[in-house]
Each structure stands twice: as C-alpha cells, then as structure tokens.
Chain A
C-alpha cells in the first residue's frame, strides 16, 4: 500500500532556531503533498499544498515566510519552521495524494519549542 514517512518523529528545539521536517512517499510518486498542523485534542488544519517543481500554496493565515515548503522531488517534501517560537509547538502531519481522491498520511512530527 501507499506508505508515507516523516522525519524526525519528534523534535525539541530552542526558541529562535529553525527546524526542518521531511515527508517522503516510500513506494509511490506524489506530485502533491499536504502539510497539516494539529493542536492537542483538535482537528487537522491544512497549512499548505506542496507541489513538485512549483511554489507551495498556503492557506489563509499561514505565514509562507515562516513555514518554508520545498517539494524537491516526487517523493520528498520538506517543511522548515523558521525562527520557531513556543506557539509553533504542535503536531505536524504530511500527506500525499494517491490517484485522484485519497490522501495517505505520515505518522506525524511532534515539535516542541522551548
């Protein structure tokens, strides 16, 4: 089946540093990947759509200069949280589209900014 991995699974960083999260499709190619964030006991909120070979599309209210997305290849998308602050602490989940309708999700990355 379609497998999506994320690395790292959890990261702790100091306020002001940048953190990179990788999302990989392991057994398929994905022209489109998505990045979500999930606060404790809340639903997933779409942050941006990552398109291979082009700029990401950000949802309203998401700062594109703070959350840098690079879709370097058909199997890899990265999310970089620049100058992270405690309020950026969250669970970040990526997904990749298989076919035309179904998204398969990665296991998530828990970010804690101290």
Chain B
C-alpha cells in the first residue's frame, strides 16, 4: 500500500529566505508525484508534478521539486519565499497503474514572516 509522509507539520521562515518542505513516500510500484498548495478556505492548486523524465521538476510560483528514487523522496524547494507563499502544502502520490487515486500526506503549513 502507498503512503506519504510529510515530516514537518509547520515550517516558519522569514521572507526572502530559502525553504524546503520534505516529502517521503512508500510504494511497491512506480508512482507519479505531486505537490499541491491550499490557501485558506480554498481548494487545492497544483504546484508541480513528476511523471517521468528529468528528476528536477519546476512548477509555478518559483517552486521546484526533485524526485529521488533511492531515498523515495520528493522534497519541495523555493530559493526565496514571499509572504504570499503562506499556505498549506500537500504532497501526493498515485500509482502509475491506477493513476486516478491520489494519496495525500498530512500537509505542511508554511508560514512566512516579514
């Protein structure tokens, strides 16, 4: 069975500092990987996804993530955060054989301070 672990429930950071949100997954088969962002009282917005090819994936709003198969990780990074990046971030995985079903991590609250 698949699972997703986001070790950090909260990440506080000052504006313009770099940030990394960690995500590890567990699966016995090949997977697709996703990062979503959720602003207060809103649905989820896709930040980026890894399907195949280059392990470094660039997304919207200056975010990027790197797929590391040996470490089963898909950490999200941004070199310089803004106040507007304050939100909840969810890592998710789906099996390639069953691409319809997404399994979500518990989320990481990124709070950017001025």
B49:A106 contact, CB within 8 angstroms: no
B43:A101 contact, CB within 8 angstroms: no
- Residues of chain A within 8 A (CB-CB) of B42 are 107-108
B34-63 near A? 1/0 per residue, CB < 8 Å: 101000011111100101000000000000
- Residues of chain B within 8 A (CB-CB) of A32 are 100
A102:B46 contact, CB within 8 angstroms: yes
- Residues of chain A within 8 A (CB-CB) of B100 are 32, 34, 49, 97
With A43-B90, A46-B101, A101-B49 known as contacts, the answer to whether A93 contacts B106 (CB < 8 A) is: no
With A44-B44, A93-B43, A106-B43 known as contacts, the answer to whether A101 contacts B99 (CB < 8 A) is: yes
B-side residues, CB < 8 A to A, are 32, 34, 36, 41-46, 49, 51, 90, 94, 99-107
A-side residues, CB < 8 A to B, are 4, 6, 32, 34, 41-46, 49, 93, 95, 97, 100-108, 110
A sample of 19 inter-chain contacts (CB < 8 A) reads: A4-B43, A32-B100, A34-B100, A34-B102, A42-B106, A43-B105, A43-B107, A46-B103, A49-B100, A49-B101, A93-B44, A95-B43, A95-B44, A101-B49, A101-B99, A103-B102, A107-B43, A108-B43, A110-B41
